[in-house]
């Protein structure tokens, strides 16, 4: 049984948008991953990377065009700025940045029904285009994760030369690295430093 407050869990819709947002940030932005330089994506590489994150279901027609890919890159960069501000303990700055993304995405709750499914909640209008749909959903879900009493925490990898973003869904919320590769890299570097240190 969970000891989390009532209403603390992000539902499946929020979790999907939060995880997709983190995947988009990691795929389209950042200069390093696991200690290695990351190639800047442009043109068709950017289109492929964006489509790869959203998948066929996310794009509606299985296709992201170059204009949408650039807009998704801008969205990912702005969400990264929110996470970076949080990693520096600048919560007011992060909230201000995220409020601007929320306002510009025109996020608002709306019940949708399509493909013979029951009514369900979205955070965009039925007329929203691909990027507006994802912008609204991601912005609302990141905001929910950053609010009080939500067990999902979004962070920036603490390893040197890695700026990947992660979602920490553990109860303890002590995750510091994007994955085992960076965790092991930091442990190995600390061990080598201890071995080199002369005995007092």
Check: CATH 3.40.50.2000 for 12-196?
no
Please check whether residue 24 is in contact with residue 51, taking contact to mean a CB–CB distance below 8 angstroms.
no
Structure-block tokens of residue 61: 């027609």
Residue 77: closest CA among 32, 25, 141, 145: 25
Residue 60, pLDDT score: 47
Rounded CA gap, 91 and 103, in Å?
18
pLDDT for 147-180, tens place per residue?
Answer: 765 556 788 999 999 999 998 877 777 889 999 9
Q: Is the pTM value of this prediction over 0.95?
A: no
Helix/strand number for the chain, H first, E second: 6, 6
Decide the pairing of beta strands 32-33 and 36-37. Answer: antiparallel
pLDDT 10s per residue in the chain (200 long)?
A: 333 333 445 567 778 888 999 999 999 999 999 999 999 999 999 999 999 999 864 544 457 999 999 999 999 999 999 999 988 889 899 999 999 999 999 888 888 887 788 888 888 888 888 999 999 999 998 888 877 655 567 889 999 999 999 988 777 778 899 999 999 999 998 888 888 776 65
């Amino acid at each position: 049984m969970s000891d989390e407050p009532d209403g603390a869990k992000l539902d499946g819709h929020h979790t999907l948008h939060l995880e997709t947002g983190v995947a988009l940030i990691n795929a389209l932005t950042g200069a390093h991953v696991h200690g290695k330089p990351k190639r800047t994506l442009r043109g068709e590489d950017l289109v492929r990377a964006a489509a790869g994150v959203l998948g066929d279901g996310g794009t509606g027609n299985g296709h992201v065009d170059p204009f949408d890919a650039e807009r998704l890159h801008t969205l990912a960069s702005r969400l990264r700025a929110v996470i970076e501000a949080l990693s520096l303990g600048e919560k007011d700055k992060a909230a201000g940045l995220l409020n601007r993304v929320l306002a510009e995405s025109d996020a608002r709750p709306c019940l949708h029904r399509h493909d013979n499914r029951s009514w369900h909640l979205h955070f965009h209008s039925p007329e929203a285009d691909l990027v507006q749909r994802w912008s609204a959903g991601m912005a609302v879900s990141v905001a929910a994760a950053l609010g009080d009493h939500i067990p999902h925490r979004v962070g920036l990898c603490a390893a040197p030369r890695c700026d990947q973003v992660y979602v920490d869904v553990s109860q303890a919320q002590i995750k510091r690295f994007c994955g085992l590769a960076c965790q092991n890299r930091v442990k190995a570097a600390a061990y080598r430093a201890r071995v080199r240190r002369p005995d007092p």
